[in-house]
Structure 1
Amino acid sequence: MFSKNNKYNFKLKTAFLALFLLCLQTNAQTAWKPASFEIVKSNYKTFKTAQYAHVFSESKHNIVRLAPELQGLTGIELPLSTTGKNAPLQLKFKEPVQVLVGIYERIDTAEFTPRNAVKLVLENGLTITGLSPINVYAVSYPKGTHTITPIYQPFVILGVIKQNQNLVSRNAEMPDGKLWNPTFIVEGFSDEKPLFEIIGGENKPVIDEGMSGTEGIQGGFEGGRVVKVGDTYHMFPTERAGEIGVDYYYDRVKTRIGHWTSKDAITWKRESTIYQASGTYAVTEDDNPMNDRRAAIWSYMPVFNEKANKWYGYYLAYTVSKEIEPNHSFGRIWRCESTVDGINGIGGPYKDMGIIMEPGLDSQPWEGRQGVASFFPYKVGDKYFGFYSGAYPFNSWADYPKKSGKGWFVALAESKSLEGPWLRMNKGLEPIKTMHPQFVENPIVSQLPNGMYIAIFDGGPDGWGHHLPNMIAYSLSADGINWAEAHYLPIETKVNKWWDIMRTPLCLIPEGNDVYTIVYNAIDLKRRFHPTGMVKVKLNKDVMESKLKELKKE
């Protein structure tokens, strides 16, 4: 038997041993020491080997996962094809080095001469969007100028490190980049000049659990819109209220629409509840009037109608099933009006004016079990268009009501007025896939200073079994109808990343001097409460003008 002191000493020694082993493991996985190099007789660019780094010129492929040993090294941006007319890669070294080469298969190092000059250091060491898992080899070179020509192509140069350090070989177990399909453009990490520069913001949530106004909100926030009236921001988020003592899933069922205000988009005050959902589960599995079709309420979009001189609200009401995915089904879009006239009547109260879009004879199978799943109206000339969405699509109506697939899509409806009637355009009977072929959620439309339309939206999670960009996205349009490929905003490059899954942007508000405010919702998977954040971006007007010219040519 141990005495108390012996027990304490034993525990202490065990703790020190565990710490020592952890340190050994950590040291083996910390960044390797870089060596300087010079690119000779070519215009190849370099990149910092890190998440989102763009690794090939004239392509959209970028890094989404990497072993920590590689973090911060200097790579070289090569063409995806390194054969033919491309200039040879020549590097000059001031000391003996090891060049880290990424190749898309495991190779036989015996094919190299000398054999001891090549070593597999990281199996599955890197994930690049759209490509097979990448193995990383260290290739030794003496001091001097050398032509880098691995016999396996394509390849990527991930860094140059000092020769005299010990490299511990291991399987880094990074996932297959083909899971990220299609590839996507990250703002500031491609050959294109960025339209927006991330200039900073709050390094922690601006509304979080325990703050004033969050009483009674179990699950935090998701979606809605922020507008600015005079010097005051008005936010209408979906509050995942739930109930104390009830499972967290109920946060998504018993929801409500809140009204919050702020003078700086940082410190917020809750003003009122605009709508409260019933939280009542369905009694049948189909779209049946026996079910409560306002069981959950989401995605409130305030829009000022200048002609009527009052605020309109558009919001989503769901039937909710306990048993069938998706549990939120058969969405209906309601329109309401403030009972207080004028721009300052934004706080309401609001009265319902009826349903403007719902599942019906003009619905298409791609709208799926969840559609109509969101709505946002905007004006183009003397007409109005509205993004409406669907999710969990049916291959055909024969699959209704249970057999749904995966996909989050948007299409356009049109109307002569904000009141409606709103009619699905259904040109080609397909959703808009030019923005992203698999995931576009909750777009909010505004116009940039040159009249170009911009939609900012949720770009999809990297989590819950999905491999999507996990960033706020935007798409551009010259005419408000045809929309370009999405670009994604890596705000964590200038703001501390307090989230695991990025969710929905609520606004893109101009503040003057080309600066815009974005308020967004995001998820920390360790917590039930989903907070709200804020970031600032700066518009590059030269890029804006070039983008408009490109869109008009198409």
Structure 2
Amino acid sequence: MFSKSTKYNFKLDTAFLMLCLVFFQFSVKAQNPPWQAASFEVVNSNYKTFKTTQYAHVFSGSKHNIVKLAPELQGLTGVELPLDQYKNGTNAPLKLKFKENVQLLVGVFQEKDNKDYLQLSAADNAKLVLENGVTVTGLPAVNVYAISYSKGTQTILPKAKGLFVVLGAVKSNQNLVARNAEFPDGKLWNPTFIVEGFSDEKPLFEIIGGENKPVIDEGFLGTEGIQGGFEGGRVVKVGDTYHMFPTERAGEVGVEMYYDRVKTKIGHWTSKDAIHWKRQSTIYQASGTYALTEDDNPMNDRRGAIWSYMPVFNEKANKWYGYYLAYTVHKEIQPNHSFGRIWRCESTVEGINGIGGPYKDIGIIMEPGLDSQPWEGRQGVASFFPYQVGEKWFGFYSGAYPFESWADYPKNSGKGWFVALAESNSLEGPWTRLNKGLEPIKSIHPVFVENPIVSQLPNGLYIAIFDGGPDGWGHHLPNMMGYSLSKDGVNWSEAHYWPIETKVAKWWDIMRTPLCLIPEGNDVYTIVYNAIDLKKRFHPTGMVKVKLNREVMDARLKELEK
């Protein structure tokens, strides 16, 4: 058992190691610049080409994307091969026309004796240049080989059977220094996922830009007393003013960063442009008190940490309601946030302009109990967002760290972040778990959906935006914000994910939670989001703009109506 001071030093050492890792990765990139590309044409086929970069879609008729690649390959031009045809051997030979002598870079999946994948032979004259050089979602680890071809039209691996990746061509005199890039097996990313703009489907949203740095960061006016930055909550726009209610990971000066997750506040911030923000008030303050027992016991402080404040305007009551999450917090057992309960509060000021409160608590609307299911797990009811469909109200609620059965209660939990629906005839409740909460919604993503916020698109489609999960901390998830669509507000489509770093500078390592999808006119929407820079204790807030494609929107509606 570590003492408190030992734990603190251990976390400092961990932070130092992360800094060393970042420096090492930067050094590797500096030492391994991109190889010099050679141009080519695809002959007598409709195969598309792609830019070899993160999220590149490498096979037509699939969802497989590159999630990691060696910097030497960055920016080359690959060929998008048809997945099924190459797997079953019915593909036509790939012919490429080269303007000069080249070395073609071919990615080979490292799964011997599997006929689905190309098995190179000595006759192919392939030279291994990058071991574990690429990670493709859902597929085995990739070794990259260089194969020499002369100027002119050439048939690529004419006798080859099975799937492989064409990653690009480089000049024949390019010195390809062999190394092991040490990227992980793509099967860790399971299932594969659809990245907006990097698939066979036309994107519903185009990323059109945004801020290349955080809009709220450490040291900004209003962040005094907030040690750990922000995570979750909601942004709404009233008139020409944005109102943000983030979870402020307050912590305490001189106390280890872990406590940032425990002693939290719900703040109220405003802005005229979603870029320059001013803190107005504190809506709620958690106690920051750790639990005394391992179970969900009333002797514990059940408001040890407060998170995920969701303001919703009730037109019938003519006032703002707030829904937020209160946790019991255990110091040793993961997850430290446990047995979540959803509280409802009301603004004491009537009308749309009463959004700033003050708010008064009305009571708990959802909590662990006899109608809970094991998948809700130790974290309990871990978020809540209500939305209206006709005369009925539905609410996304979530659970995490699931129990396989109630025999595992209170601390033998697994991994998974799930959502399901509750229903009510009014915002006041009572709220009932739909289908008795027997199964979570896995159509969006089978293992990770967190903090969904629902609105409607111009054609009536419901859209839920959410945190898609980190690629870090031992998790292999999209590391992007995602969205799902629904025609009826009950049945939800497979997720699509936004690679916003293709249009704005990537200042984060781990993407977290979108707080809004606010229409600004001319089909442009504002997204405010939280993310993590691993070099900092403080988790900043960013902003990006996306533009809706109405043609794609209407096509998606028709698909969901089938």
Superposition TM-score tier, normalisation by shorter sequence: over 0.9
**Aligned pair partner of 1:413 in 422, 429, 436:** 422
Note if 1:501 corresponds to 2:486. Answer: no
> Equivalent residues in 2 for 1:65-464 (5 A)?
65-81=68-84, 82=86, 83-105=88-110, 111-113=121-123, 117-149=125-157, 151=160, 153-426=162-435, 429-464=438-473
Letter in 2 for 1:77: E
Runs of 4+ in structure 1 off by over 4 angstroms are 22-28, 106-110
Structure 1 range deviating more: 26-35 or 281-290: 26-35
Distance in 1, Cα, partners of 2:289 & 2:436: 36
AA aligned opposite 2:300: N
Match of 1:469 among 463, 478, 485: 478
Contact 1:106/1:135, CA 8 A, preserved across alignment: no
Structure 1 stretches of 5 or more lacking a match?
1-21
Counterpart secondary structure, 2:133: strand
Query: Is the contact made by 1:102 and 1:134 (CA closer than 8 Å) also made in structure 2?
Result: yes
Shift of 1:327: 0.7
Q: Which amino acid aligns with 1:376?
A: F
**Deviation string for 1:186-216 (max 9, x for gaps)?**
0000000000000000000000111110011
- Kept after mapping to 2: 8 A contact 1:109/1:119: no
Letter in 2 for 1:393: P
* Whole-angstrom distance in 2 between the partners of 1:258 and 1:320: 20
Please tell me the root mean square deviation across aligned C-alpha atoms, in Å: 1.7
- Using the alignment, how far apart are the partners of 2:65 and 2:247 within structure 1? 34
Partner of 1:479: 488
Q: 1:62 aligns with which of 65, 68, 71?
A: 65
Shift of 1:146: 1.1
In the alignment, residue 121 of structure 2 is paired with which amino acid? E
Q: Does 1:34 align with 2:42?
A: no
Aligned residues: percent identity?
A: 81
For 1:284 and 1:24, the matched residues in 2 are separated by 47
> Whole-Å Cα distance in 1 between the matches of residues 153 and 266 of structure 2?
65
Aligned to 2:11: none
1:153 is displaced (CA, Å) by 2.1
- 2: CA distance between counterparts of 1:329 and 1:23? 38
Q: Is the 8 A contact 1:62 1:128 kept in 2?
A: yes
Contact 1:109 1:118 in 2 (8 A): no
- Greater C-alpha Rg: 1
Q: Which amino acid aligns with 1:51?
A: Q
8 Å contact kept, 1:28–1:168: no
- Please, which of 55, 71, 90 is the counterpart of residue 52 of structure 1? 55
Residue type at the aligned position of 2:49:
T
2:395·2:422 contact (CA, 8 Å) conserved in 1? yes
Give the letter for the 2:160 counterpart. I
AA partner of residue 254 (structure 1) = K
Could you state the TM-score of these two structures normalised by the residue count of structure 1? 0.93
Q: Deviations over 1:92-136 (max 9, x none)?
A: 1121111111111388999344x6x42111111110001111111
Query: Deviation string for 1:199-241 (max 9, x for gaps)?
Result: 0000000001111100110100000000000000000000001
Is the aligned partner of 1:492 residue 2:501? yes
Unaligned runs of 5+ in 2: 1-24, 113-117
- Aligned-partner Cα distance in 2 for 1:299–1:102: 43
Task: Supply the distance in 2 between the matched residues of 1:244 and 1:109 (Cα, whole angstroms).
Answer: 58
How far apart are 1:427 and its partner, in Å? 5.6
Q: Which TM-score applies when normalising by structure 2? A: 0.92
Return closer, same or farther for 1:272/1:95 CA change in 2, 3 Å cut-off. same
Question: What is the letter of the counterpart of residue 525 of structure 1?
Answer: L
Q: 1:525 matched to which residue of 2?
A: 534
| Cα distance change of structure 1 residues 386 and 357 upon mapping to structure 2, 3 Å threshold | same
Helix, strand or coil: the match of 2:508?
coil
Deviation at 1:458, TM superposition (A): 0.2
Deviation for aligned residue 1:79: 1.2
The count of residues paired between Structure 1 and Structure 2 equals 530
